[in-house]
Structure 1
Amino acid sequence: MRKVAIDDVDVERSPLGVHSVRKPVSDALGTEHFAMNYFELKPGESFSGGLHTHHDQEEVFYVLEGEATFDVADEPSSEATEPVTVSAGEVIRFPPGQYQEGYNDDEEESVVGFAFGAPSSKHDWESIESVLHCSECGEETGHGLSLTDENRFEFTCQECGNEVTF
């Protein structure tokens, strides 16, 4: 058994700089088969930084305070997304392979919530696909994701192989 207080979990921000507060609770608990992250999103911030899917993990988001918006799609295209609002006290689930991006589009209020993932507590970076505009081929395409030795994200266009690091 292991117990932690959310306030005692260190903040670990995304290399993309898309949120101010992300606390990897599952790391503090030492989980192996379940991921849990606590977020506080200021206006304009997001959980992940872009439209993406996990081919190996389902995700559930619980909004504790505020109202989050999720753009949801069944294909890797921002033009195919449908916005879904999740209010305080509500949850939303994404199966493996469904594209989503969650963010705070309120101009004044913050969003506080949790992201849960299973069946693993750590990402298999090769099983994540992000949707980005490729500067090389000029298309909005799925990009493979990897984590560099310097803990930076490297995106690889699945159409032309162009690599971009953040």
Structure 2
Amino acid sequence: MKKVAIEDTNGHASRAFQPLTEALGATGLALNYYERASGEHIGDCYHRHHKQEEVFYVLSGTATFETEDGDVEVDAGELIRFAPGEWQQGRNDGGDRLVVLALGAPRSDEPMDLRRTCPSCEERTPAVPEESDGEVVFYCEVCGAETGRYGW
């Protein structure tokens, strides 16, 4: 058994993200804690996993998940599950702070399919992430334009 407090884990405070998998020593699932202000996304890209299913439990606020079938709102006390292969990205469209616990199983380091809106192509295209000086920079796979940059 292993017990941890969210504030005692080694997270990225500037993005209100706490990776809990390693802190708990979990081997069969990925576990992440998110807090997001209004207008912020859960994760950096519209994406899908090939083998992993994801469950998001909304602890407070309302999460809006963009899916292939349209937007789905998930309120505090509700959960949403995405099967392997289903496209999704969560965001906070509300005025209250969003707090979400995300679980993924099986735990996998497999690459995901990532999509971001490219300013040059003017559409959502495959995204390629690269780490550079403590940041993750996303580039359009089609034209090479930068589509986002995140640091912690």
Residue 131 of structure 1 aligns with an amino acid whose one-letter code is R
Residues 1:115 and 2:102 aligned together: yes
Q: Equivalents in 2 of 1:57, 1:9: separation in Å? A: 24
Residues 1:130 and 2:141 aligned together: no
Cα RMSD (Å): 2.4
| 1:20/1:42 contact within 8 Å kept | no
| TM-score under structure 1 length normalisation | 0.75
Aligned pairs for 1:1-166 within 5 A: 1-12=1-12, 20-73=15-68, 82-107=70-95, 109-120=96-107, 123-124=109-110, 127-135=111-119, 137-143=121-127, 145-148=128-131, 150=133, 152-153=135-136, 155=138, 157-158=140-141, 160=142, 162=144, 164=146, 166=149
Q: 1:84 to 1:137 in 2, by over 3 A?
A: closer
Residue 126 of structure 2 aligns with an amino acid whose one-letter code is G
Q: 1:61 to 1:135 in 2, by over 3 A?
A: same
Could you say what secondary structure the match of 2:22 adopts? helix
| TM-score under structure 2 length normalisation | 0.81
Q: Equivalents in 1 of 2:130, 2:26: separation in Å? A: 21
Residue 82 of structure 1 aligns with an amino acid whose one-letter code is G
**Cross-structure match for 1:77:** none
Deviation at 1:69, TM superposition (A): 0.6
Could you say what secondary structure the match of 2:102 adopts? strand
Deviation at 1:91, TM superposition (A): 0.4
Q: Sequence identity of aligned pairs in percent? A: 38
Could you say what secondary structure the match of 1:27 adopts? helix
| 2:9/2:18 contact within 8 Å kept | yes
Higher share of residues assigned strand: 2
Q: Equivalents in 2 of 1:151, 1:98: separation in Å? A: 30
Q: Which 10-residue stretch deviates more, 127-136 or 41-50?
A: 127-136
| 2:53/2:104 contact within 8 Å kept | yes
Q: Equivalents in 1 of 2:121, 2:4: separation in Å? A: 47
Q: Equivalents in 1 of 2:114, 2:39: separation in Å? A: 19
Residue 109 of structure 2 aligns with an amino acid whose one-letter code is H
Deviation at 1:157, TM superposition (A): 4.2
Q: 1:40 to 1:156 in 2, by over 3 A?
A: closer
Deviation at 1:10, TM superposition (A): 2.6
Deviation at 1:64, TM superposition (A): 0.9
